[in-house]
Structure 1
Amino acid sequence: MRTILRSGLLAAGFLLASCSTAPRQPLAPPPPPPKAAELPYKWTNGFAAQAHKDALAAFGPLALRPGDFRWTPAIPEGDAKVVIDLLTQAFYVYRGEQLVGVSTISSGKKGRETPLGFWTVFRKQVKGFSRRYDNAPMPYMQMYDEKGIAFHAGALPGFPASHGCVRLPLKFAQKLYGLTKIGTKVVIEG
């Protein structure tokens, strides 16, 4: 009996010793935010505000109704870049540092909001179809999110109404498709 009691006490002592916590290491402070030169885009914060200023300079006062867009006939050299403003439901496309087009959009509705952030186009299809929503057509589809979110031609009611994608006027989506490539940078604010 003494042997059993002694081995029980030894086991309890071992368990208590192994439960003691080691001194905690202080958490390291978060890394500093990246400098502008380290960001994946040349622009810094306020992309949509700058794009709106560029649109006013390129096209004059904009009073776009749902489905309207502006496109410059002279396309400069350089890579395409896209800025999407969910607050104003506007889409801006650059070539090099020059704005070449602006359009109205319809982004994701409440509960299915279009995600914000920095993205890159990784898949393009002239005749795209949604795998998730009954094979819904997505003409001139350019996917930038692994979950299947893209910008493409679609209905433009004048307010957010999609399941997360960014809908564009058909003619604008067609022109945009010819301008972009895999790797085109996309910034979404709102």
Structure 2
Amino acid sequence: MARSAIGFGMALALLAAAPPALAASASGVDSIALPIEEAATELSANQFVWKDSNTGEAVSIVISLSTQRAFVYRGSTMVAATTISSGKDGKDTPLGTYPILQKEQEHKSNLYNDASMPFMQRLTWDGIAIHAGNNPGFPDSHGCIRVPTGFAKKLFGVTSVGTTVTVTDDFEGGAVPYEPVVDQETAVANLRQSVSLEK
């Protein structure tokens, strides 16, 4: 009896010590032992972590092209992270701060043979968006930011038109932005320009 109790205790300790990314499949994980910033660095392709207590604070998103990650914040607190697949060479995802311009749960590409873009959140009127899609762990899109489907669905549920998205390549070597990176002046200018382009 004592031997099996010790074995069970050791098994629990090993499970607790396992990297959280092992549990964060394409469906994600809502409960993690490590701080979400640390768990974010452990993710493999098509994995995400989500730990949002929905405090009601404004949501913002940081896309790191250098680490192929997306980070979601409520106020200054990171609540989710995922791997992404951004634009491949020659179809680079543009850097900058953008407001979400349009949201559409079931969207088909106007540019690429009616390709499915579930949970699409448009960043530019010329075809750049965040959406669910193939997530091989490296840049492979035509400029969009592809995320795992489970993450795309959750993200779609917490954002609104106007939510700020910052696309950057400043984070090297697995670094994680502990605070959201938001250039409000650029976001407002982009929103004004997008409204005039839409007319």
TM over 0.5: yes
Secondary structure in 1 aligned to 2:121? strand
Which of 119, 136, 139 is the aligned partner of 2:115?
136
The 3-state SS of whatever aligns with 1:65 is coil
The aligned runs of 1:37-186 (5 Å cut-off) are 57-61=35-39, 62-186=41-165
What secondary structure sits across from 1:164 in the alignment? coil
Provide the rounded CA distance (Å) in 2 between the counterparts of 1:88 and 1:133: 26
Structure 1: which 5+ residue stretches go unaligned? 1-55
1:77, distance to aligned residue in structure 2 (A): 1.6
Deviations for 1:70-105, whole angstroms, at most 9, x for unmatched residues? 000422221110100000000001112211100000
The Cα shift of 1:59 comes to 4.8
TM-score by length of 2: 0.65
Give me the whole-angstrom Cα distance separating, in 2, the residues matched to 1:90 and 1:173: 13
User: Higher Cα Rg: structure 1 or 2?
Assistant: 1
Decide whether the 8 Å contact of 2:36 with 2:49 is kept in 1.
Answer: no
- The TM-score with structure 1 as length reference comes to 0.68
State the identity %: 43
Query: Structure 2: which 5+ runs fail to align?
Result: 1-33, 170-199
Question: RMSD over aligned Cα, in angstroms?
Answer: 1.3
Q: Give the drift of 1:57.
A: 4.1
Give me the whole-angstrom Cα distance separating, in 2, the residues matched to 1:70 and 1:179: 15
Q: Is the 8 A contact 2:46 2:84 kept in 1?
A: yes
Is this contact kept in 2: 1:122–1:144, CA < 8 A?
A: yes
Residues 52 and 80 in structure 2, CA contact (< 8 A), matched pair in contact too: no
Q: Distance in 1 between matches of 2:63 and 2:116?
A: 22
Distance in 1, matches of 2:106 and 2:53, equals: 27
